[in-house]
Structure 1
Amino acid sequence: MSAILSVQNIEKYYGNKGNVTKAVDQISFDVSEGEYVGIMGASGSGKTTLLNCISTIDTVTSGHIYIGGSDITALNSKSLSRFRREQLGFIFQDFNLLDTLTAFENIALALTIIKTPSSEIIERVKNVASKLEIGGVLNKYPYQMSGGQKQRVACARAIITNPSLILADEPTGNLDSKSARMLLESFETLNRDLRATILMVTHDAFTASYCHRILFIKDGKIFNELMRGSDTRKQFFNKIIEVVTLLGGDNSNVL
C-alpha cells in the first residue's frame, strides 16, 4: 500500500531561548491508504501537538510531513488553505457544526465551497447520510439533534469531499457510551466500505480498540506501537491496557 501520510523526523519547540519546551521529538511514521490508526498518550505527551502539525493547524520546527505526496511543511498560507479544504477531513470533540444550518447544509457546505453542481451535492449527501444512518436528521438543526447524531453529521461533513486523510481529535469525548459506540461503528463503516484513511487521537482505550494500529506517545516520542492483526477487539483492548501500564503514571490520565 502507498503511504497517504509520511511524517519524517519532525520536531516542535515552544518558548524562547530561556525556556524551551520540546513538544514533539524526532517523530517519524507512515500511514498507508485505508489504514485506521490511533494515537494515544497521557496529557502533555505531545499527541495533540502532533495532530495539530499534521492537520496544518500548527507548523513544525523541523522535519517534513507529506500528505498524498505533497510536502505540507513547504506550502504557503494560501496553498495550505486550499490543501486543507480539498485533502483533509476534520472531526472534532465539540462537533463544530454551524448552528444556523441544517444537517444537510452543514454536510453540503464543503461541496458548495468547491463549486460542486447542486444535483451532485444532493446525491452525495444522501449517500453518505445513508452510510452513517442519519438520513432522518438531514432537515434538522444542531439544537434538534442528540450528541451522537451531531457527531455523525460531523463525520459526514468530513468524508463528503473524499479527502486523502480524516483527522479525528478525541471524537468520543463529549458522547455517552451508547453514542460513542455508534460513532465508532460509523468509523468502521467509513474505513471498511469507503476505504477512508483515519488518524485519530484519543485518551480512551475503548475508543482506541477500534483502530487497526496504535502509536503510543510519551515525552514527545513514539514509545510503542501496537498492531491489532487478527485479535478481537476485546483482545486488542487488553493489550492496549498493558502498554498504558508500561507508560507509567496515573492511568486515569491516559484512559
Structure 2
Amino acid sequence: MKPVLVVDKIQKYYGNRGNITKAVDNISFSVEHGEFVGVMGPSGSGKTTLLNCISTIDTVTSGHIFINDSDITTLKKGDLSKFRREELGFIFQDFNLLDTLNAYENIALALTIQKVKPDTIDKRIKEVAHKLNILDVLQKYPYQMSGGQKQRVASARALITNPSLILADEPTGALDSKSSRMLLDTMEHLNQEFNATIMMVTHDAFTASYAHRILFIKDGKIFNELHRGNDTRKAFFSRIMEVVTLLGGDISNVL
C-alpha cells in the first residue's frame, strides 16, 4: 500500500537575500495509512510551518508534498480549496464550531458544500455520531454542550468527509488536563476505530505519547525519530523525554 503522505525534500525560506530564515530545511518523510504521527520541537523549530505546508495553508520554497499521489505543491488556488475540503480534516484546540448551527449542522456543513445528497449526509452523520457517542447532542447548539461533547462533535466534523489525513496543530494547547486527556482519548479512538491517519504537532511530551511515531524537528530539520512499537504509553513517554533532554538548551521550550 502506498503512503498517504510523502514529503520530499521540502524547503521553506522566509526573507530576502540579505536575511534568509530557513524555517524548513530539506525535510523528507512519509506517513502510512492508519498511522498516528506526532511532530515535536522547540519554539521556532519549523514544526508549525511544516504542518502549514502540508495543510496547503502555506507554500513550499522547493520540494514536493504528495497526498494520495497528488502533488499538492503544483495545485492552483481553486484546486487547493477543493483538495483541502475533500482530502484533509482538521482538529482545532478551540473546536471552531459555528455557534449559530447545531451539532448536526456543524458536522454536515462540509458535505453540504460538496453537494452530497441529504439522505447520504444523514446516514454518514448518524454512523459517525453513534461511534463517537454523540447521537443525543446532534440537535444541541455549542453553548448547550459540555467541553467533551464539543470535542467529539469537532472530531466528527473532521472525519465526516472521509479525509485522507487529519491534521492537528497543538490540539491540547489551550485545554486543562482533564479536557486534554478527553481530546487525546477521542483522537486515539478515531485512529483505532476509524483507522484515521493523523498528524499532530505538539510541544507536550504527554500529548505526543499518544502517537505511534514521533518526528523531532530542530532548526528546520529532522533531529530524531521514535517509534512506539509495543511500548505502553508510559514507557513511550519516558523515551520521548530522553530525546527532549538531548535537545539540550531547547528543553525549556519543548516542555
Give the TM bin, normalised by the shorter chain: over 0.9
The answer for the alignment partner of 2:81 in structure 1 is 81
The answer for the alignment partner of 1:201 in structure 2 is 201
The answer for the alignment partner of 2:2 in structure 1 is 2
One-letter amino acid of the counterpart of residue 120, structure 2: E
The superposition leaves residues 217-248 of structure 1 with CA deviations (integer Å, 9 ceiling, x where unpaired) of 00000000000000000000000000001012
**Pairing 1:37-56 to 2, within 5 Å after superposition:** 37-56=37-56
**Pairing 1:72-111 to 2, within 5 Å after superposition:** 72-111=72-111
**Offset of 1:153 from its aligned partner?**
1.5
The answer for the alignment partner of 1:227 in structure 2 is 227
**Offset of 1:100 from its aligned partner?**
0.9
Q: Which moved more, 1:43-52 or 1:139-148?
A: 139-148
For structure 1, the 5+ residue unaligned runs are none
One-letter amino acid of the counterpart of residue 60, structure 1: V
One-letter amino acid of the counterpart of residue 133, structure 1: N
One-letter amino acid of the counterpart of residue 152, structure 2: R
Distance in 1 (CA, whole Å) between partners of 2:194 and 2:135 is 18
For structure 2, the 5+ residue unaligned runs are none
**Pairing 1:1-255 to 2, within 5 Å after superposition:** 1-255=1-255
Distance in 1 (CA, whole Å) between partners of 2:107 and 2:248 is 41
Distance in 1 (CA, whole Å) between partners of 2:252 and 2:149 is 28
One-letter amino acid of the counterpart of residue 210, structure 1: Y
Q: CA RMSD in A?
A: 1.2
Change (3 A) 1:215 1:188: same
Q: Percent identity?
A: 75
**Offset of 1:208 from its aligned partner?**
0.6
Q: Is the 8 A contact 1:214 1:227 kept in 2?
A: yes
Q: Match of 1:56, SS?
A: coil
TM-score, L = length of structure 1? 0.96
Q: Which moved more, 1:168-177 or 1:152-161?
A: 168-177
One-letter amino acid of the counterpart of residue 203, structure 2: H
**Offset of 1:249 from its aligned partner?**
2.2
Distance in 1 (CA, whole Å) between partners of 2:179 and 2:147 is 7
TM-score, L = length of structure 2? 0.96
One-letter amino acid of the counterpart of residue 161, structure 1: T
One-letter amino acid of the counterpart of residue 221, structure 1: K
One-letter amino acid of the counterpart of residue 222, structure 2: I
Q: Is the 8 A contact 1:11 1:26 kept in 2?
A: yes
Q: Which moved more, 1:181-190 or 1:82-91?
A: 181-190
Q: Is the 8 A contact 1:15 1:21 kept in 2?
A: yes
Distance in 1 (CA, whole Å) between partners of 2:144 and 2:252 is 33
Q: Which runs of 4+ in 1 moved over 6 A?
A: none
Q: Match of 2:140, SS?
A: coil
Q: Which moved more, 1:86-95 or 1:205-214?
A: 86-95
One-letter amino acid of the counterpart of residue 130, structure 1: H
Q: Which moved more, 1:66-75 or 1:141-150?
A: 141-150
